[in-house]
Amino acid sequence: MYLGTHDEGEPFNMGAHHDHGLAGHRGEPASRTAIRAVLAVIIPLSLVTLGALVWMWPSAPEPAGPTSTQMKRVTGTIIRVDLKPCPKQVAPDGLPLDARQLEQEKGGRSPAQDPRRCGNALVQMTSGPLPGRVATAELPSGPGTRVFTVGDDVILLDMPGEDTQGPSYQLSDHDRSNPLWLIAAAFILAVIAFGRWRGVTALIGLAVTFALLLLFLIPAIIEGRPPLLTAIVCAAAIMLAVLYLTHGFTLATSIAVIGTLGSLTLTGVLAMAAINLTSLTGITDDSSLYLDLSYQINTQGLLLASVIIGSLGVLDDVTVTQAATVRELAHANPSYSFIQLYRAAARVGRAHIASVINTIILAYAGASLPLLLMFSLGRQPLGDVITSPVIAQEIVRSVAGTLGLIAAVPLTTALAALTATRPSSPDAIPGRDGDSWRPAHRNGKRISPSARSTS
């Protein structure tokens, strides 16, 4: 924040030694007009977002009543596996068939059972009402089931038995709690080791993001709030909290927030137009159909919400980079005009966009890889594959997010260059390029024309 000058005539900047405050960078004062203009956008946006969060915040869910047939999850460790011969496959007419006959009849790969999936496992429970107890559970042998071996940490489903038979247990899955904690610890240590204090603030911002998604976005949609409006409010709250928490209360961060908001709005408008144009309903699998039938959730609005939330992470990356690039260019070249700053930063932005676009497409392709394999095995024509609801939905996500990303570069760059351009000083003269201005004084001493020409 500009607060006057030192005795030597240098402007005093409250953020000269700390990267905080709506001020310039490295001791450079920010324009009062720029600060007022930014605050005129940021303050109303913050108040509206906070009010919408309070108004739309979901109520506490009612606790589910206990039921006699409710299954409970308990953890345990396999201490022994007793294998037994797998039962023979039976044809529809009741005659046993070996694996080769089945393969010939079905014209596909052999569905022979893995002998490691047939038998029983002795599991010593590590949680639940009876820790330390050893229970017997049958190994799952259906198609696609996992292979369990001695020493595996597993999850059991505790199914209450009838009358006096007692509970029975079913192997459900591997217990991944400990490996995931190790992976999370490695991630946290790597972020802090490289980013130091900035890494700590980034982790806090990540926690805020997860909290808003899990405590606000998902419960609010389940409660019946409009998915699109809920996603907009959630995205604005994440954007304001995470960007300021991670990058500080600087003018560059505020420009990134405004650029992200404008680009996100454009992304939402384009996604809405594309969804209506392609007549997408958002129902592409059993999960979305279940949400539509059982909870009457607007699946088309849910699709729009997913586009907005998915685009936010990439947009704030681009806008923060562009705002920081303009700031550094202005610091390294104080004489740059608005046009020079914009052109130089836009070149960096174009290089960034070229790689980020590929990242977006690859991310969606990776998520849809099993589906693409199914289409390939079905030998469907390419036109039918592209126009199917599942693939068309991913195309709309990619295109809308990419167009919003492209718009973020010129928008953020122009705003940052506008606020970073220094006004002409009365004792400045034109430079050799005709449109840049060089100071006639430096550190209180007049600079000769020859020195100015080489500065």
- Contacts of 174 by beta carbon, 8 Å cutoff, 6+ apart: 146, 148, 152, 153, 154, 155
Tell me what pLDDT residue 342 has. 93
C-alpha closest to that of 244 among 214, 204, 210, 215: 204
C-beta pairs of 111-115 under 8 Å, 24+ apart in sequence:
111/143, 113/86, 113/87, 113/89, 113/141, 114/86, 114/141, 114/147, 115/83, 115/85, 115/86
CA angle 237, 212, 23 (to 5 degrees): 35
Asked if residues 348 and 412 have their Cβ atoms less than 8 Å apart, the reply is: no
The alpha carbons of the chain give a radius of gyration, in whole angstroms, of 30
Distance CA 212, CA 310 (A): 14
Tell me what pLDDT residue 94 has. 52
Q: Give the containing element (helix H, strand E) for 385.
A: helix 382-387
Region class of 127: left (phi > 0), else alpha (psi between -120 and 50), else beta: beta
Asked if residues 244 and 201 have their Cβ atoms less than 8 Å apart, the reply is: no
Asked if residues 306 and 268 have their Cβ atoms less than 8 Å apart, the reply is: no
pTM for the model stands at 0.71
Asked if residues 171 and 94 have their Cβ atoms less than 8 Å apart, the reply is: no
In three-state secondary structure terms, 196 is helix
Q: What is the DSSP string of 2-29?
A: EEEE-TTSPEEETTSSSS-SSS-STTPP
Helices (H) and strands (E) in the chain, counts: 13, 13
Count of beta carbons in the 10 Å neighbourhood of residue 215 = 12
Burial 176-189 (b: 16+ CB within 10 A, else e): eeeeeeeeeeeeee
Asked if residues 73 and 155 have their Cβ atoms less than 8 Å apart, the reply is: yes
Question: pLDDT tens string for the chain (455 positions)?
Answer: 333 433 333 333 333 333 434 544 444 456 788 888 899 999 999 999 999 999 999 887 665 544 445 568 888 898 988 888 877 665 555 545 454 454 444 444 545 667 777 888 888 888 877 788 888 888 887 776 788 888 889 988 877 655 445 567 888 888 999 999 999 999 999 999 998 998 999 999 999 999 999 999 989 888 888 888 899 999 999 999 999 998 888 888 999 999 999 999 899 889 999 998 988 888 887 888 888 888 888 888 888 888 999 888 888 889 999 999 999 999 888 888 999 999 999 999 998 888 888 877 787 777 777 777 877 777 778 787 788 888 888 888 888 888 998 999 999 999 999 888 766 544 443 443 333 344 444 554 544 444 444 44
Count of beta carbons in the 10 Å neighbourhood of residue 25 = 19
Distance CA 109, CA 330 (A): 64
Q: Is 274 exposed, middle or buried (0-12, 13-18, 19+ CB in 10 A)?
A: buried
Strands 119-125 and 134-138 turn out to be antiparallel
Tell me which DSSP letter residue 285 carries: S
Tell me what pLDDT residue 27 has. 42
Length of the chain measured in residues = 455
Distance CA 397, CA 263 (A): 15
Phi, psi (degrees; rounded to nearest 5) at 128: 95, -175
> For residue 365, what are its two tokens?
């392709």
Tell me what pLDDT residue 423 has. 60
Place of tokens 């024509």: 381
In three-state secondary structure terms, 294 is helix
